[in-house]
Chain A
Amino acid sequence: MLYGLKIATRYLTANKAQTGLLITGVAVGVFVFIFMSALIGGLAVFLVQRTVGDIAHVTMEAPSRDASALLPENSGLLIVRQRDTTQLELLRTADAFIPLIEATPGVSAVSPQIVGNGFLVRGQATAPVGVTGVQPDKVSAIANIGRNIRAGSTDLNSSNVLLGTSLAEDLGLRVGQVVRLRSANGLELPLVVGGLFELGLDALDSRSAFVSLSVARTLFDAPQGISRLEIKLDDLNQAENYARQLAADTGLEAKPWTEGNAQLLDGLRAQANSGNLIKGFALITIVIGVASALLLSTYRRRPEIGIMRAMGATQGFVIFVFVTQGTMIGLLGGLIGAGLGYAALSPFPLPEVAPQGGLPIDVRQGAYDLAITLTTIGAILASILPARAAARVDPVSVIGQ
């Protein structure tokens, strides 16, 4: 149908102003589509980043042991066991799992940790802290302490501690000063403040202390094992799948980040829905625009269509000519709109690094191919009605005119 293509192209180029306007209209619709995709996608990245960026995507712990399992079933005894906050449930077999988990595709970081509670003591002042013992080379693996360090450094050794800025302020501590860290087990160590961080999450900035794994072993009297594994993934949206898989593979409890953040997920979903609504309207506008323009063109070209039919053009040929026009308008408008969209969105910083208060637009999430595909399909559908109207033109009714 090379010839149908030629006629369609000629019809489009014959009236350049009208065709140009039509394609511009389609391109604007595509631009809106792409802008919405990038904005909603960027907002999601931004919000998730803010909320989840500094927490683990999957956390693995030992399954909580059930005290009754130590007694015969149906022994008739009712056992009440208070959860012991000082006693760590240690993953003694973790060392065997870590290389396996690290080698799993999609896992970007694994951080074995010993966690516990304690108090920072400086003179008369004390403050409760959650203590996290990490491997010194993994201090920034989960919470990006490296990027958010405000004073000192992130180097961890056997005699220092990293604190949040607000916690340090409460105790009047500065880098280089000594503070005593007393664990819930009653053990106490003097440590030098090595660095101050500000992650923007109050729970971390005002109530946590990071020490090296070996310091934590001493403090919590845990010569072996670890208390949890924190895992980061390349794609945090896959956390639930990975958690399920890791739990099955290791027999440990694996908790995805989504479990504690249902509200955020609901919000993101609502946001995506409203974005889709706007994108849908953009598509509908494109379809209506293309349909009406082609319908007008069909009407204007009635005499020609009649003459083509008289000269031996089949109805199928006429339909092809008009559907091809729709296709080309959709494709061209789609490509131009996508190109403009990409060009216009590229200068925006990625949402991961976007400054506070800026538009969190994610140029990677413009859904360019989807926009072009849907627009082309929409334009094809839009051209069907005018094409059929064109094919039904009765040569007799226009030839006498």
Chain B
Amino acid sequence: MSTLVEVRDLVKTYGEGDTATPVLKGLNLTLDTGELAALLGPSGSGKSTLLTILGTLMKPTSGQHLMLDQDLTSADDRELTEFRNRHIGFVFQFHHLLPDFTALENVIFPTAVKAGRETAAARARGRELLDRVGLGNRMEYLATQLSGGQKQRVAIARALMNQPELVLADEPTGNLDRESATQVMDLIGEINRQEETSFLISTHDERIAEICRRQIRVLDGSVG
């Protein structure tokens, strides 16, 4: 296994002066390819903050962020946009599909936005992914016509669309009932086993943490 992501002395402080809130205080972490890791910690400990930084959606206050041997701390918005399009998939707690688009259109978005159009190849892969997450019969449904669990499975398919090395999931089951949560986690586990994709999943659910091969605990701004 090779190193996929490495952060060193990661510091994130929200706000300035009197209202400055230090959240991450010199955090160090390494993720390897093919890992399935749970991110645990009390509410407010900085799990979402860490995922956001790892997802290149936000810059750390200081420290180093490397992925695929690239230093992302110094990259500009354009480079980061392209980087996360190619290498990072996201699954959020609140699904966040594009409501006016079908399940299939949502899944192929990351490829289409890069190519500038929806290619036949992209559509084929989108169908394949939707089949795989068990939604082969819901391809042409609008996002708003899907249940919470179905939306989350569409989001997982979308996260996998560009075959990213890393999928970041922020409480992907937080909004789902027990059965749907199990389904989603089974799916993630299966994909992780079959492909080289690494998953980092923040959760409060110890059951889900147990499914993961590694547990990372954030406590007081660093990894315990």
Binary contact track B70-104/A, C-beta < 8 Å → 1, others 0: 00000001100110111000101010111111000
The contact size tier of chain A is 20 to 34
Q: Is the pair A311, B110 in contact by a Cβ cutoff of 8 Å?
A: yes
Q: Tell whether A68 is near chain B: CB-to-CB under 8 Å.
A: no
- Cβ contacts under 8 Å, A306 to chain B: 96
Q: Tell whether A344 is near chain B: CB-to-CB under 8 Å.
A: no
Q: Tell whether A79 is near chain B: CB-to-CB under 8 Å.
A: no
Interface residues of A in 62-104 (CB under 8 A from B): none
A396 to B168, CA, bound (A): 14
A14 to B99, CA, bound (A): 9
Known A396-B57, A396-B58: A312·B96 in contact at CB below 8 Å: no
Q: Is the pair A311, B100 in contact by a Cβ cutoff of 8 Å?
A: no
Q: Tell whether B121 is near chain A: CB-to-CB under 8 Å.
A: no
- Cβ contacts under 8 Å, A11 to chain B: 100
Interface residues of A in 293-347 (CB under 8 A from B): 303-304, 306-315, 317
- Cβ contacts under 8 Å, A3 to chain B: 112-113, 115-118
Q: Tell whether A262 is near chain B: CB-to-CB under 8 Å.
A: no
Q: Is the pair B110, A312 in contact by a Cβ cutoff of 8 Å?
A: yes
- The secondary structure that dominates the A interface is helix
Q: Is the pair B90, A310 in contact by a Cβ cutoff of 8 Å?
A: yes
A354 to B116, CA, bound (A): 55
Q: Tell whether A10 is near chain B: CB-to-CB under 8 Å.
A: yes
Q: Count of chain B residues with Cβ under 8 Å from any Cβ of A?
A: 33
The contact of A307 among B77, B82, B96, by CB within 8 Å, is: B96
A-B CB contacts (within 8 Å), total count = 69
Q: Tell whether A223 is near chain B: CB-to-CB under 8 Å.
A: no
A3 to B113, CA, bound (A): 7
Q: Is the pair A400, B48 in contact by a Cβ cutoff of 8 Å?
A: yes
Q: Is the pair A310, B57 in contact by a Cβ cutoff of 8 Å?
A: yes
- Cβ contacts under 8 Å, A315 to chain B: 77, 81
Known A11-B100, A14-B100, A399-B96: A310·B115 in contact at CB below 8 Å: no
Q: Tell whether A2 is near chain B: CB-to-CB under 8 Å.
A: yes
- Cβ contacts under 8 Å, B110 to chain A: 311-312
Counting chain B CB atoms within 10 Å of each CB, which of A10, A317, A395 scores highest? A395
Whose C-beta in chain A lies nearest to the C-beta of B56?
A: A310
B116 CB, nearest partner CB in chain A, Å: 5
Whose C-beta in chain A lies nearest to the C-beta of B95?
A: A307
Q: Is the pair B58, A313 in contact by a Cβ cutoff of 8 Å?
A: no
Binary contact track A136-156/B, C-beta < 8 Å → 1, others 0: 000000000000000000000
The contact of B118 among A6, A304, A312, A399, by CB within 8 Å, is: A6
B132 CB, nearest partner CB in chain A, Å: 19
Interface residues of B in 47-76 (CB under 8 A from A): 48, 52, 55, 57-58
Counting chain B CB atoms within 10 Å of each CB, which of A4, A10, A400 scores highest? A400
B71 CB, nearest partner CB in chain A, Å: 20
Interface residues of B in 5-33 (CB under 8 A from A): none
Q: Write the residues of chain B forming the contact surface with A, with a CB cutoff of 8 angstroms.
A: 48, 52, 55, 57-58, 77-78, 81-82, 84-86, 90, 92, 94, 96-101, 109-110, 112-118, 158, 162, 170
Q: Write the residues of chain A forming the contact surface with B, with a CB cutoff of 8 angstroms.
A: 1-4, 6, 10-11, 14, 303-304, 306-315, 317, 395-396, 399-401
6 extra interchain contacts, Cβ-Cβ under 8 A, other than A304-B99, A311-B113, A315-B77?
A: A11-B100, A14-B100, A306-B96, A312-B85, A313-B81, A395-B57
